[in-house]
Structure 1
Amino acid sequence: MVDWAAYTLVFVAGLITALATGIGALPFFFVPDISEKFNVGLWGVASGIMMAASIFGLIPEGLNAGPWTTVAVGLVAGGLLVLVANDLLMDADIDSRTYEEADFKKLVLILGVLTVHSFPEGIAIGVSFAELNLGSGIPLLGFTVPALAIAMTIAISIHNIPEGVAISIPLRTMGVAEWKMVWWSIFSSLPQPLGAVIAFGFVQLAEPLLPAGFGFAAGAMIYLVLSEFIPDALEAGEELDGKGYRELVAGFAAGGGAMVLLLVVV
C-alpha cells in the first residue's frame, strides 16, 4: 500500500527548495536601474556562482556517488545539451510577443538549462529520504525523518538562493518585471519536488544515476557560462575602461568566493 503521507512530505521538502530559489530575485525589487559597469559585474557574479557550484559542489558530489567515468559522461552530455539547445533556439521561429526575439531565445535557453539541472538536486533530496521512518531520525509531523534528509533539504534551499540571483541577472537586463523574475526563478527549480518524489519511490534505480546526473548539471552550467554569460558580459562592457574585464573578474571572484564559502559552511 502506498504511503501517500510520506510522498507528500518528500514533495513538500522539494517544494521548499524550489521556493527558496525565488528569494534570489527579491533584491532586484530595490534596484531601480543597472549601469553597464554594474551589469558586467553582475554577469561576473552569476558566472562565478555557477562555475563554483559546478566545480566545487556538483562534480565532487558526483564523484562521491560513483566512478569518475560516469561523472565525465554526464559532464559531456550536459555541455552537449546546451550546445544543441542553443542551435535549436537560434533556428526556431519564436514569437516572443514581449521581448526581442534574440533576448527571448536566450531567456528560454538559460531557464531551460537551469530547469534541467535542478532535477538531479531533487533526486538527491528523494534519495536522502530513503530511510524515512526506519531506524534513528528526527521526529517531525508524525514521521521519523533521517537527519541526512533534513540537512539535504536545508543545504539545497540555501544553495538555490544564489541560483535565484544568477537567474534574475539576465532577466533584469532584459527588463523583466520583478515579480516575474521571482516566478521564473521558482519555475527553474520546480523539477526538484518532482525529482524528489520519483527518487523516493525508485531509490534503487535513482541512486546509480546520481553520478551522471550531477555531472550533467555541472557540464550544462559550465558550458552556459563559457558560451553565454561571459561573452555577454564582455559585449556589455565594450565601452567601459578596460572593456569590462575588471568588472567581470571582480564579479566572478565575488560570486565564486561566496559560493565556495557557502559550500564549505553547509
Structure 2
Amino acid sequence: MNDEQLLRYSRHILLDEIGVEGQQKLADSHALVIGAGGLGSPVALYLATAGVGRLTLVDHDTVDLTNLQRQIVHRLDAVGTPKVASAARTLAQLNPEVQVRALQLRANAAQLDELVATADVVLDCSDNFATRHAVNAACVRHGRPLVAGAAIGFDGQISVYDSRDGRQPCYACLFPPDAAYEEVRCATMGVFAPLVGIIGSMQAAEALKLLMGLPGSLAGRLQMLDARRMEWSEIQVQRDPGCSCCGGQSLATDSPN
C-alpha cells in the first residue's frame, strides 16, 4: 500500500482485527452485488469506501424519482439513467481506486454462473424470490458465500449462506423455491427509508468480514428487524438434507474464513 492508501484506510488499519493485512485482502477482493436499489445503495457505498478492489454491480432498472427516498447512491440528476451507471458514478467520486463494473441487465442463470464464479463474495440486494433463488443456486454451485438481505414496510431480515461449509444451509433450505410466498413490492406496500440503510449496511459488514476472514458471520442465523419497535429477533437455521438446491449436491469442502 502507498502512503495515500495507508491514510485513507487508517481507521481500518488501526483495528487489531484488520490491520494492513486485512485491508490488503479487501483490496485484492471482488464482490458481486445483485441490485443497485435500496439495499444495494449502502452495500455499494460501504464496500467501495472500505476499499474492496473490484465491484460488479448488476441491475436492469433505471433511476426513478420515487427511488430517491431511500436509494442513497443515486442523485436527482440521475433520474432516467441506469441505476448501475448512476451508482458507478457516485462510487468513482468517493473512491476512484475501486474498479466498478456496471452491468445493466436482469441476470439469468447462465449469466449468474459466469458472474458468481469470478466473485469472492455475493450480495443479494434484489427484490424478488426468483432472482434470490437463482443467485443462491449459482452460489451453491460455485461454493461462494452469499449475504442476503430483504426489506419491506418496516420489516427487514439478513443472513449469510456459506456454501463453502457443507454443514451450513443455503437460502433454499429456509425458503424452498416450491413454497407459496406472497410477493410484496415496495411500489404497493412501501418501505421505511432508513430500514434499507440498516439492512444494507449490515450486509456490507458481513461481506467485509467474510473477505477478511474474520470470525462470527451470520451463517446459520437469520436476523429479523421490526423497525416499528426497533426490535431484533433471531432464529437458528439448519441445513435441509432434502433441499432441492443443496441437499443432493456435493458442496465445496473448503472451510469458511
TM-score normalised by structure 1 residue count: 0.25
Which structure ranks higher in relative contact order (CA pairs < 8 Å, sequence separation ≥ 6)? 1
The structure where strand makes up a greater share of residues is 2
Query: Which has the greater radius of gyration?
Result: 1
TM-score normalised by structure 2 residue count: 0.26
